[in-house]
Protein backbone atom coordinates (compact mmCIF):
# COMPACT_ATOMS: atom_id res chain seq x y z
CA UNK A 1 0.00 0.00 0.00
CA UNK A 2 1.37 3.44 -0.96
CA UNK A 3 1.96 5.86 1.86
CA UNK A 4 -0.36 8.80 2.41
CA UNK A 5 0.69 12.13 0.98
CA UNK A 6 0.30 15.57 2.59
CA UNK A 7 0.30 18.98 0.97
CA UNK A 8 2.49 21.62 2.63
CA UNK A 9 1.57 25.33 2.68
CA UNK A 10 4.06 25.89 -0.14
CA UNK A 11 2.11 23.41 -2.28
CA UNK A 12 4.89 20.81 -2.10
CA UNK A 13 3.66 17.23 -1.64
CA UNK A 14 5.49 14.86 0.69
CA UNK A 15 4.92 11.54 2.47
CA UNK A 16 2.83 11.68 5.64
CA UNK A 17 5.22 11.19 8.56
CA UNK A 18 3.44 10.44 11.85
CA UNK A 19 6.74 10.82 13.73
CA UNK A 20 6.57 14.57 13.02
CA UNK A 21 3.26 14.76 14.90
CA UNK A 22 4.67 12.81 17.84
CA UNK A 23 7.82 14.95 17.96
CA UNK A 24 5.82 18.21 17.76
CA UNK A 25 3.54 17.12 20.61
CA UNK A 26 6.53 16.14 22.78
CA UNK A 27 8.31 19.42 21.96
CA UNK A 28 5.19 21.29 23.07
CA UNK A 29 5.35 19.49 26.42
CA UNK A 30 2.70 16.78 25.97
CA UNK A 31 3.28 13.58 27.94
CA UNK A 32 4.50 10.69 25.75
CA UNK A 33 1.23 8.76 26.16
CA UNK A 34 -0.78 11.79 24.94
CA UNK A 35 1.60 12.36 22.02
CA UNK A 36 1.29 8.66 21.10
CA UNK A 37 -2.52 8.75 21.28
CA UNK A 38 -2.79 11.90 19.13
CA UNK A 39 -0.34 10.43 16.59
CA UNK A 40 -2.31 7.18 16.43
CA UNK A 41 -5.59 9.09 15.94
CA UNK A 42 -4.02 11.25 13.23
CA UNK A 43 -2.75 8.17 11.37
CA UNK A 44 -6.30 6.79 11.36
CA UNK A 45 -8.16 10.02 10.51
CA UNK A 46 -5.84 11.92 8.19
CA UNK A 47 -6.77 11.23 4.58
CA UNK A 48 -4.39 11.01 1.64
CA UNK A 49 -3.81 14.51 0.24
CA UNK A 50 -4.62 16.33 3.49
CA UNK A 51 -3.01 19.73 3.96
CA UNK A 52 -0.53 20.36 6.75
CA UNK A 53 -2.96 23.06 7.98
CA UNK A 54 -5.70 20.44 8.39
CA UNK A 55 -3.30 18.17 10.26
CA UNK A 56 -2.16 21.05 12.45
CA UNK A 57 -5.77 21.98 13.30
CA UNK A 58 -6.53 18.36 14.23
CA UNK A 59 -3.45 18.05 16.43
CA UNK A 60 -4.08 21.39 18.15
CA UNK A 61 -7.70 20.48 18.85
CA UNK A 62 -6.68 17.16 20.43
CA UNK A 63 -3.86 18.80 22.40
CA UNK A 64 -6.30 21.39 23.74
CA UNK A 65 -8.52 18.57 24.98
CA UNK A 66 -5.82 16.20 26.25
CA UNK A 67 -2.89 18.44 27.30
CA UNK A 68 -3.97 22.11 27.53
CA UNK A 69 -0.53 23.32 28.65
CA UNK A 70 1.10 21.71 25.61
CA UNK A 71 -1.53 23.35 23.38
CA UNK A 72 -0.74 26.73 24.90
CA UNK A 73 3.02 26.18 24.50
CA UNK A 74 2.54 25.23 20.81
CA UNK A 75 0.51 28.40 20.15
CA UNK A 76 3.06 30.51 22.04
CA UNK A 77 5.97 28.96 20.08
CA UNK A 78 4.17 29.63 16.79
CA UNK A 79 3.82 33.29 17.72
CA UNK A 80 7.39 33.89 18.86
CA UNK A 81 9.18 31.70 16.31
CA UNK A 82 6.96 31.56 13.25
CA UNK A 83 5.30 34.97 13.43
CA UNK A 84 1.81 33.51 13.29
CA UNK A 85 -1.09 33.66 15.67
CA UNK A 86 -3.40 30.73 16.26
CA UNK A 87 -7.08 31.50 16.45
CA UNK A 88 -9.34 29.34 18.66
CA UNK A 89 -10.24 26.78 15.99
CA UNK A 90 -6.57 26.21 15.22
CA UNK A 91 -6.35 28.19 12.00
CA UNK A 92 -3.17 30.22 11.70
CA UNK A 93 -2.90 33.85 10.73
CA UNK A 94 0.50 34.93 9.45
CA UNK A 95 1.38 38.48 10.44
CA UNK A 96 4.21 40.11 8.51
CA UNK A 97 4.22 43.51 10.19
CA UNK A 98 1.72 45.65 12.06
CA UNK A 99 0.05 46.23 15.38
CA UNK A 100 -1.96 43.61 17.22
CA UNK A 101 -3.36 43.38 20.70
CA UNK A 102 -1.51 40.61 22.56
CA UNK A 103 -2.06 40.30 26.24
CA UNK A 104 -2.59 43.71 27.76
CA UNK A 105 -0.62 45.89 25.39
CA UNK A 106 -0.21 46.52 21.70
CA UNK A 107 2.82 44.72 20.30
CA UNK A 108 4.58 45.28 17.01
CA UNK A 109 4.89 41.95 15.23
CA UNK A 110 7.99 41.65 13.12
CA UNK A 111 9.40 38.82 11.05
CA UNK A 112 9.27 35.27 12.45
CA UNK A 113 11.96 33.97 14.77
CA UNK A 114 14.11 35.34 17.55
CA UNK A 115 17.24 37.31 16.86
CA UNK A 116 18.25 38.98 20.14
CA UNK A 117 18.26 38.74 23.91
CA UNK A 118 16.28 42.02 23.94
CA UNK A 119 13.38 40.21 22.24
CA UNK A 120 13.60 37.43 24.83
CA UNK A 121 13.65 40.05 27.60
CA UNK A 122 10.42 41.54 26.21
CA UNK A 123 8.77 38.11 26.06
CA UNK A 124 9.83 37.41 29.66
CA UNK A 125 8.24 40.73 30.68
CA UNK A 126 5.05 39.60 28.95
CA UNK A 127 5.18 36.27 30.84
CA UNK A 128 5.68 38.14 34.11
CA UNK A 129 2.63 40.30 33.30
CA UNK A 130 0.64 37.16 32.46
CA UNK A 131 1.62 35.62 35.79
CA UNK A 132 0.54 38.79 37.61
CA UNK A 133 -2.70 38.73 35.63
CA UNK A 134 -3.48 35.20 36.89
CA UNK A 135 -2.14 32.83 34.23
CA UNK A 136 -1.19 29.59 35.99
CA UNK A 137 2.41 28.74 36.81
CA UNK A 138 1.99 25.52 34.82
CA UNK A 139 1.12 27.54 31.71
CA UNK A 140 4.01 29.94 32.32
CA UNK A 141 6.34 26.95 32.72
CA UNK A 142 5.15 25.47 29.40
CA UNK A 143 5.66 28.83 27.68
CA UNK A 144 9.15 29.18 29.18
CA UNK A 145 10.08 25.79 27.78
CA UNK A 146 8.75 26.85 24.35
CA UNK A 147 10.79 30.06 24.59
CA UNK A 148 13.91 28.13 25.62
CA UNK A 149 13.48 25.74 22.68
CA UNK A 150 12.88 28.71 20.39
CA UNK A 151 16.17 30.27 21.47
CA UNK A 152 18.04 26.99 20.92
CA UNK A 153 16.50 26.47 17.46
CA UNK A 154 16.84 30.07 16.26
CA UNK A 155 19.07 30.32 13.23
CA UNK A 156 18.98 34.14 13.30
CA UNK A 157 20.35 34.50 16.83
CA UNK A 158 24.14 34.70 17.29
CA UNK A 159 25.70 32.43 19.93
CA UNK A 160 26.35 35.33 22.34
CA UNK A 161 22.70 36.40 22.13
CA UNK A 162 21.58 32.80 22.75
CA UNK A 163 23.81 32.66 25.84
CA UNK A 164 22.37 35.96 27.15
CA UNK A 165 18.84 34.75 26.39
CA UNK A 166 19.32 31.46 28.22
CA UNK A 167 20.74 33.37 31.18
CA UNK A 168 17.66 35.66 31.21
CA UNK A 169 15.30 32.67 31.00
CA UNK A 170 17.12 30.87 33.83
CA UNK A 171 17.10 34.00 36.01
CA UNK A 172 13.34 34.21 35.47
CA UNK A 173 12.96 30.51 36.40
CA UNK A 174 15.08 30.95 39.54
CA UNK A 175 12.99 33.98 40.55
CA UNK A 176 9.97 31.64 40.51
CA UNK A 177 11.86 29.02 42.55
CA UNK A 178 12.39 26.67 39.59
CA UNK A 179 15.56 24.91 38.50
CA UNK A 180 17.39 26.52 35.57
CA UNK A 181 17.48 24.75 32.23
CA UNK A 182 20.71 22.90 31.49
CA UNK A 183 22.11 22.55 28.01
CA UNK A 184 22.57 18.95 26.88
CA UNK A 185 25.10 20.00 24.26
CA UNK A 186 27.11 23.13 23.46
CA UNK A 187 25.50 25.91 21.45
Query: Based on the domain organization, do 102 and 60 belong to the same domain?
Result: no
Max mean pLDDT range (93-97, 110-114, 173-177): 173-177
In a domain, 104, yes or no: yes
pLDDT in tens, 115-149: 899 999 989 998 988 888 788 888 899 889 989 98
104 versus 17: the higher-pLDDT residue is: 17
pLDDT in tens, 49-59: 998 888 988 99
The count of structural domains within the chain is 2
Can you say whether the dihedral through the CA atoms of 39, 44, 45, 46 is positive or negative?
A: positive
Select from 66, 87, 114 the last residue of a domain.
Answer: 66
Rg (CA), the chain: 17
pTM: 0.65
- Residue 99 banded pLDDT, cuts 50, 70, 90: very low
Query: Based on the domain organization, do 99 and 171 belong to the same domain?
Result: yes
In a domain, 138, yes or no: yes
Query: Based on the domain organization, do 170 and 99 belong to the same domain?
Result: yes
Contact assessment for residue 90 and residue 60, using Cβ atoms and an 8 Å cutoff: yes
- Residue 87 banded pLDDT, cuts 50, 70, 90: low
Can you say whether the dihedral through the CA atoms of 135, 137, 143, 144 is positive or negative?
A: positive
Domain enclosing residue 161, as ranges: 95-175
What mean pLDDT value characterizes the chain?
84
Query: Based on the domain organization, do 101 and 156 belong to the same domain?
Result: yes
Q: pLDDT at position 101, please?
A: 43
Name, in order, each residue with C-beta under 8 angstroms of 66's C-beta and a sequence gap of 6 or more. Answer: 30, 34, 37, 38
pLDDT in tens, 156-171: 899 999 999 999 999 9
Query: Based on the domain organization, do 47 and 119 belong to the same domain?
Result: no
Query: Based on the domain organization, do 103 and 168 belong to the same domain?
Result: yes
Helix (H) or strand (E) holding 19: helix 18-27
Query: Based on the domain organization, do 61 and 100 belong to the same domain?
Result: no
Select from 66, 84, 116 the last residue of a domain.
Answer: 66
Query: Based on the domain organization, do 108 and 163 belong to the same domain?
Result: yes
In a domain, 72, yes or no: no
In a domain, 24, yes or no: yes
Q: What is the DSSP letter of 29?
A: T
Amino acid sequence: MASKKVVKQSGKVEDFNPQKIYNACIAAGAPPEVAHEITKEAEEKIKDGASTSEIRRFVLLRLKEMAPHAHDAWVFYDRIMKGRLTIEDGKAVVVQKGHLYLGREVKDIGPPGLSSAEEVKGILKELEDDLDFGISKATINARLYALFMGVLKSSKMPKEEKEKSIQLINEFREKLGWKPYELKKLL
